Structure 1
Amino acid sequence: MKKETNKQISLAKRPQGLPNLEDFNFKEGVFPTPVSGEVVVKTLYLSVDPYMRGRMQDAKSYVAPYQLNEVITGGVIGEVVESRSTEFQEGDVVIGMLGWQEYSVASAAELRRIDPNLAPISTHLGVLGMPGLTAYLGLLEIGKPKEGETVVVSGAAGAVGSIVGQIAKLHGARVVGIAGTEEKIDYLLNELGFDAAVNYKTTTNLRHDLKDACPNGVDVYFDNVGGEVSDAVYPLLNTFARIPQCGAISSYNKEGKDVGPRIQSYLIKSSALVQGFVVSNYASQFGEAARQLGKWLAEGNLKYEETIVEGFENIPNAFLGLFEGSNLGKMLVKVAEPSHS
């Protein structure tokens, strides 16, 4: 079983503007050797996420930046192939924050076993994982949608946005999605049951089209995008609107400051609440949220899509694809098949 080498990807330099392949370095590491209490995990699926762009900058944030020439880390689903822990045995499927590498060594405390019989294992990086939890907790804890209200979601066909819209529908809201391709618009309307959807890339007047899609204004704006898309939403806010600020992918690759219209007057006029958040703020509620997401999924009340890129060598390309909008639903990289199936 044991290999001599272990393919790895590290950050070669800090990106300026939009990242490119030269910012990443492929290298051969040594095959990990576990000590007592540790296991070796073979990477099966690996998550690429927009927040990783922020970690590539040497700047203070809610999570520490990646270090140059060290293996990049993120969400990984893998198979235990060697165990020196009493908590895991060979063949167990686990999830954790591990490296962009073929094999990782981890302590039992860093991993959580997942049941491959409940749902496809990849869902634990998407609808049943961090994106699903982000959607559920951000919408319900901050957005608090009520029956009959209008909920607008930017980045609506992505891993988080697509779940937000469906949860809002389950709570009786009218849901309007903003996305960037006709394929995504069709998906939102015909697969996920959104009430309206606007293509921000093809419209000649985004604010006008959003106003048409939201004749009763906007009560909840779940924002994954920021930038000019959000500039078009703010004038439509109703009194006491709530804005969960989840992401700002439009600005992640900008060099210099992101300059746009000021939002203060819209917030004052509407008495609106805008609250930024990261999903770890609600860690104490993960169990409850995951159970509800799993229940909805099992009942057929929650649909999901995955864009799966095959091959370890294509991890950087999959990451870069996030900023081109090339993913429908969750973007994943499939690195290997399980040894035990």
Structure 2
Amino acid sequence: MGETSLRVAMRDHPQGMVSEGDFLVEQTPRPAPGPGQALVRVRHLSLDPYMRPMMNPVRSYVEPLKPGQTMPGATVGEVVESNEEALPVGAHVACMLGWQEYGLVTKDAARIVDLDPGDISLALHVLGMTGATAHYGLLHLGDPKPGETVVVTAASGAVGSVVGQLAKIKGCRVLGIAGGPEKCRYVTEELGFDECLDHRADDFEQRLAELTPDWVDILFENVGGPVLDALLPRMNDHGRVVLCGNISDYNRDEPYGLKGISHLLLHRVNVYSFVIADHRDYWPGAIGELAGWVKEGRIRFREDVAKGGLKGAPSAFISMLTGRNFGKQLVEVAPANVASPAGN
């Protein structure tokens, strides 16, 4: 083709808080599809907290990144050239192409997105991995019952915002925890949580005790650190902790640790940790049910879209890790009105 594709790679393993200097932005040759492959032009890239621990050279549920490797990530885009009948030119697909403008997929590595062109980004959050994470974590692992108290940390974030709304659908009392008054207002006024606490407030622990007089039945945990320390003493007997994320630790050289483990034993609390990539067979049913609730207006969402292409991805990633974003963090890699180079 003789064309290029911009990509963002990890320059080296970060030390502590990730910085823009830890990334390498470069042009690479645009790939040509072989037999059974399709070339996809990425429209949107999803930025997610799990990407940060992948940058550390430690044993994990996935192989850690090596310096020079393209940053990973879920993407949605348009097929612009194809040698695969199941992936026709013009189709929108969700796939894992990472931080790059173009990539190759096979039919087994891409999911056709049956949404209006202006809505395809939903396949990266509420109707994609984010939604499946919330659905599996709360409804399958947490198993909420009507009248139970559910606490959701990072409640205004991509996963937490869906979790709380699912809990309300199931008849629970829902308390969100977020960073700052604006996010707390969004959680209660737009998402419909019963209460929301600002974990930065001086009286956070006092207010937490006041708002959980009958203790906490389900804790959906995305943050860890001091917030988790404050919550574990509030757990009910035989409560459930769904451990989805630990974002407060992702930029630490040394782990914060778990200080309240005795409360888990004293109150016979079950802890469920999970990674939604282990449960791919669960996705279709979850996404189908979520799509119905979105259509009915029972699940709302907010997108924080970084414009200007991939060059802005590192900055947007850092904003997400430090809580400066609002809602699901996306990067607009290519505007939808940009002509695709099909057939050239």
Class of the TM-score when normalised by the shorter of the 2 chains: over 0.9
1:266 aligns with 2:272: no
**Partners of 2:100 and 2:10 in 1: CA distance:** 13
Q: How does 1:1-341 map to 2 (within 5 A)?
A: 4-117=3-116, 120-201=119-200, 203-263=201-261, 265-311=262-308, 312-338=310-336, 339=339
After superposition, the Cα gap between the structure-2 partners of 1:280 and 1:101, relative to the gap in structure 1 and judged at 3 Å, is closer
User: What amino acid does structure 1 have at the position aligned with 2:211?
Assistant: A
Deviation at 1:108, TM superposition (A): 2.2
Kept in 1, the 8 Å contact 2:152–2:160? The answer is yes
Name the aligned partner's letter for residue 273 of structure 2.
Answer: G
Question: C-alpha displacement at 1:118, in angstroms?
Answer: 8.9
Which AA in structure 2 matches 1:315?
A
TM-superposition CA deviations, 1:169-192 (whole Å, max 9, x none)? 000000000000111100011011
The Cα shift of 1:140 comes to: 1.0
C-alpha contact (below 8 Å) 1:306/1:328 kept by paired residues? yes
CA 1:132–1:119 in 2, change beyond 3 Å: closer, same or farther? farther
**Distance apart, 1:3 and its partner CA:** 6.0
Q: CA deviation at 1:259?
A: 3.6
Deviations 1:14-54 (A, max 9, x none): 01111001100011100111111111110100011000001
For 2:34 and 2:117, the matched residues in 1 are separated by 31
Unpaired segments of 5 or more residues in structure 2?
Answer: none
Q: Give how far 1:213 is off.
A: 1.7
What is the number of residues matched between the two proteins? 337
TM-score using structure 1 length = 0.96
Query: Residues 118, 103 of structure 1: CA spacing in aligned structure 2 closer, same or farther, 3 A cutoff?
Result: closer
Asked whether the 8 Å contact 1:39–1:107 carries over to 2, the reply is: yes
- Distance in 2, Cα, partners of 1:210 & 1:122: 35
Paired residues of 1:176 and 1:194 also in contact (CA < 8 A) = yes
1:228–1:260 Cα contact (<8 Å) kept:
no
- 1:163: Cα distance to partner? 0.3
Q: 1:262 to 1:235 in 2, by over 3 A?
A: closer
Q: Distance in 1 between matches of 2:117 and 2:28?
A: 34
* Identical columns (%): 40
What is the CA-CA distance between 1:336 and the residue it aligns to?
0.8
Separation (CA, whole Å) in 2 of partners of 1:87 and 1:70? 29
TM-score normalised to structure 2 length? 0.95
Secondary structure class of the residue paired with 2:96: strand
CA gap 1:119/1:153 in 2 versus in 1, 3 angstroms: farther
Q: Aligned equivalents of 1:280 and 1:260: distance in 2?
A: 25
Deviations 1:220-262 (A, max 9, x none): 0000001000111111111110000000000111112324523
1:109 alignment partner AA: D
Point out the more displaced range, 295-304 or 318-327.
Answer: 318-327
SS of the aligned residue for 1:235 comes to helix
- CA distance, structure 2, for counterparts of residue 122 and residue 316 of structure 1: 19
Report the Cα distance in structure 2 between the residues aligned to 1:295 and 1:80, rounded to whole angstroms. 27
Residues 12 and 66 of structure 2 are in contact (CA less than 8 Å); yes or no, is this contact kept in structure 1? no
Residue pair 2:233, 2:260 contacting (<8 A) in 1 also: no
1:19–1:253 contact (8 Å) kept in structure 2: yes
Q: One-letter code of the match for 2:186?
A: Y
- Structure 1 stretches (4+) deviating beyond 3 angstroms? none
Q: Distance in 2 between matches of 1:248 and 1:57?
A: 15
**Partner amino acid, structure 1, of 2:272:** Q
Q: What's the CA shift string for 1:61-89, capped at 9, x where partnerless?
A: 11121221121121010111111112112
